[in-house]
Amino acid sequence: MSSTPSRFWKTPGEARQYDTFANTDFARIYPVIANQILDRTGITEGACLDIGSGPGSLAIALATLSALKVTALDSSPEMYDLAQKNIRKRGMEEQVVPVIGDVHAIPAPDTTFHLVVSRGSYHFWNDLPVAFSEVFRVLKPGGIAYIGGGYGSGKIRDEVLAHRKERGIVDDPAHPMRNRFRKFRAGEIEASIEAAGISDYRIINDDTGFWIVIRKSCYDRRE
């Protein structure tokens, strides 16, 4: 499978539209998810990487609710510009730094991050084993990755989606987002994680969403 990222946002207008949703309809989900990440991982300071960070909403929420310094990585130049705008608007340039880059070749040295997070992006990754091995490579020994998707709770998801529907907000029919969400075969995600040489992981599939939690042992010194 190719590891070249496809052009995710079909038009700059589509990227701006996502930024508007993230700052309005979806805005309430990010602090909820950020608090779940901080509680479940126990990592509240150090270096954090948010992969497929889009306009930076989760990265900003994590940096607001903790002492983490967050690198917001996205392969889309449109999202880089939107993340930069959102970070500047909140005066958070010291805590959140946007970077253009691809999960299949993360532009960071080995063992850089205490925490790696990602929401709503893994469905679009072309090669999951390569992506997971890159995530593992950039984690520090003792670090944790929290990757998946969700709205924080089923109640929030239902309210957010119902509100959008009420207001007649639908995907661009020419490029519906749902068609770009990859469906996975049963066991495919687990097999991809294990193909990346990762054995210490668990999957949370509950009201908060679908989340893969990967731990890198304190004793992991692999090159």
Q: How far apart are CA 136 and CA 198, in angstroms?
A: 8
State the nearest-atom distance from the C-beta of 221 to ligand SAM, in Å.
27
Q: Which is nearer to ligand SAM, 14 or 159 (CB)?
A: 14
- Contacting ligand SAM (CB under 6 A), which of 48, 54, 63, 212? 54
Per CB under 6 A, which of residues 129..188 are in contact with ligand SAM? Answer: none
User: What is the rounded (10 degree) CA torsion for 49, 215, 27, 10?
Assistant: 60
Q: Is 19 in the site for ligand SAM (CB under 6 A)?
A: no
Cβ neighbours for 142, distance < 8 A, ≥ 6 positions apart = 114, 216, 217, 218
Q: What is the DSSP string of 56-82?
A: SHHHHHHHHHSEEEEEEEES-HHHHHH
- The residues in 95-124 that bind ligand SAM, with binding defined as CB under 6 A, are 102-104, 119-121, 124
Single out the segment in contact with ligand SAM by CB under 6 A; choices: 50-58, 83-91, 137-145, 164-172: 50-58
CA 209 to chain centre: 13
**Residue 86, interface with ligand SAM (CB under 6 A)?**
no
The span from the CA of 3 to the CA of 126, in Å, is 6
Interface residues with ligand SAM (CB under 6 A)?
Answer: 5, 8, 22, 51-54, 57-58, 74-76, 79, 102-104, 119-121, 124-125
